[in-house]
Chain A
Amino acid sequence: MNYMEEMEVIDLREYFDVIQKRKWIIFLITAIAVSTSAVVSFFILDPVYETYTTMMVGKTKSQETMIEYSDVLLSQKLVKTYGEIAKSRTVSKEVIKDLNLSFTPIELKEKIEINSVKDTEIIMIKVQDTDPLLARDIANDLAQVFKKHVTKIMKVDNVQVIDKAEIPKNPVKPRPQLNIAIAGALGIMISLGVVFLLEYLDNTIKTPADVEKYLGLPVMGTIPLLEESENQKVKVQKGVKEYA
């Protein structure tokens, strides 16, 4: 048991030595990854702004009928359908025409995200764009066009905008801190892989154990590297002078 534990400790130390020996590779790769992602997120990627409108879609409760639970449930189920309508080409084209936009319906579709607010009949139309004003305009116009079409298609007469879109102040993308953190983590992982690969490919003789294993010759001595013990040399020399 004790023997096993000792083996494990030695193994761990060897891993640590491998890392220690090539720590500059790890440092370099991680630094490159972090700085690249920082440059890309701060200078290259355009900031993207996001805004949203919320809408309520449901049948009019014309008479004094109670709101049935099943109605609410149905409306919730229908949110997906409403979403598809909002993203439909007809709606997109009309929005593009209204706002005199220069992109295609598919490009517009990529900027739009439609979700239901959890457990409600409310749907949320999120729009992302590099221009915060445009994002707001698209969201608001989309809501209007959607309202028009959904009334026609689904024969509902109670479509209401709850929140109009506002001009977003802060961009949602890119998120430099997140990007840098991801790049840093990736950099460390990749560089560790490189370091251990290099170690694996290094087939040189390194330890007295290697000599005995591969050559079958006795080791008469091991001489430490001169440079690395320079500090110690200085220290000892001082000592020698003192005693002399």
Chain B
Amino acid sequence: MKNLIALENPKSPIAEAYRTFRTNIQFSSFDKELNTIAITSTGLGEGKSTTIANLAITMAQSGSRVLLIDCDLRRPQVHKNFSLVNHRGLSNILAHQTSHEDVIKQTNVIGLDILTSGPKPPNPSELLGSNAMKEFIKEMTQKYDRVLLDAPPVGLVTDAAVLSTVADGIILVIAAGEVAIEAAQRAKDLLQQINANIIGVLLNKVSAQKSKYYQYYYQQYYDEEDTDTKSSKRKRRKK
């Protein structure tokens, strides 16, 4: 398992940041339930799959039944983060080759199930925009509280735009200091053109200096909460 900090190190400031992210999503919509959320980014390598994995974990930890679907049929990543095999998955279901019971895998996080992308189809965009996809997602929202869709980058392929019509809302991951303002604006425009419900932005990879304040805050908060603080403080002083 890689990059699953919410699982490996739940007390870290980063895990806390993911929990804040989860809470913000929960409170971002009052009228409409955000059952299906797609996550995309402007370009490659902005931490989209890491984000969705950690978000899924924190949501499951809060008691929701969560299904994470790898909708990036071109460069699937989710199975790597969770150390799963990707022989069969979403593309098999959409091609009516198998039922979802056979391919959805349980994780050791209670309440979190994962559907990997499956073999790479020749026509990912059409597959994701198909009625089979819409019906499948609808069916899954009956079974799960939250369905998270890992979408390809919006700036590169149309898949994310197609997915945003299936999802209730879409979140744009932006890596701080890596994405030009124009590129981010273009991504936003692309999504708005098809009336996607952009829930908001997750700013990823914010340098520690800028977020020092938050880290300090979380650290202190935990120190006070822990009953065994004295011994740890003494150790720190010795250093």
Interface string of A212-223 (1 = CB under 8 A from B): 001101111111
On whether the beta carbons of A215 and B177 are closer than 8 Å, the reply is: no
On whether the beta carbons of A224 and B13 are closer than 8 Å, the reply is: yes
Is B28 on the interface with A (CB-CB < 8 A)? yes
Given the interface contacts A203-B181, A211-B174, A228-B208, does A218 sit within 8 Å of B201 by beta carbon?
yes
On whether the beta carbons of B11 and A239 are closer than 8 Å, the reply is: yes
Is B214 on the interface with A (CB-CB < 8 A)? yes
Q: What's the interface size class on A, roughly? A: 20 to 34
Is B209 on the interface with A (CB-CB < 8 A)? yes
On whether the beta carbons of A204 and B181 are closer than 8 Å, the reply is: yes
Which residues from chain B contact A215 at a C-beta distance below 8 Å?
A: 184-185, 188, 201
On whether the beta carbons of A222 and B9 are closer than 8 Å, the reply is: no
Q: Which residue of B lies closest to A20 (CB)?
A: B209
Which residues from chain B contact A223 at a C-beta distance below 8 Å?
A: 14, 17-18, 21, 47, 51, 202-206
Is B101 on the interface with A (CB-CB < 8 A)? no
Given the interface contacts A207-B176, A242-B231, does A17 sit within 8 Å of B210 by beta carbon?
yes
Chain A nearest CB, measured from B171 CB (Å): 6
Is B178 on the interface with A (CB-CB < 8 A)? yes
Chain A nearest CB, measured from B18 CB (Å): 7
Interface string of A1-44 (1 = CB under 8 A from B): 00000000000000001001100000000000000000000000
Given the interface contacts A17-B210, A203-B180, A211-B174, does A221 sit within 8 Å of B14 by beta carbon?
no
Which residues from chain B contact A232 at a C-beta distance below 8 Å?
A: 12-13, 215, 219
Q: Total A-B pairs in contact (CB under 8 Å)?
A: 140
Interface string of B173-195 (1 = CB under 8 A from A): 01011111110110010000000
Out of B12, B14, B171, B207, name the residue touching A220 (CB < 8 Å): B171
On whether the beta carbons of B206 and A225 are closer than 8 Å, the reply is: yes
Chain B nearest CB, measured from A216 CB (Å): 8
Which residues from chain B contact A207 at a C-beta distance below 8 Å?
A: 176, 203, 206, 210
Is A226 on the interface with B (CB-CB < 8 A)? yes
Chain A nearest CB, measured from B207 CB (Å): 5
Which residues from chain A contact B172 at a C-beta distance below 8 Å?
A: 217
Q: Which residue of B lies closest to A224 (CB)?
A: B211
On whether the beta carbons of B18 and A224 are closer than 8 Å, the reply is: no
Which residues from chain A contact B232 at a C-beta distance below 8 Å?
A: 239, 242
**Which residue of A215, A220, A226 has the most chain B CB atoms within 10 A of its CB atom?**
A220
**Which residue of B3, B172, B181 has the most chain A CB atoms within 10 A of its CB atom?**
B181
On whether the beta carbons of A217 and B188 are closer than 8 Å, the reply is: yes
Binding site for B on A (CB under 8 A): 17, 20-21, 202-208, 210-211, 214-215, 217-226, 228-229, 232-233, 236-237, 239-240, 242-243
18 further interface pairs, Cβ-Cβ under 8 Å (given A219-B201, A220-B25, A222-B206): A203-B180, A203-B182, A204-B177, A204-B179, A204-B180, A207-B176, A207-B206, A214-B185, A217-B200, A220-B202, A221-B17, A222-B203, A222-B204, A223-B205, A226-B5, A229-B14, A229-B215, A232-B215
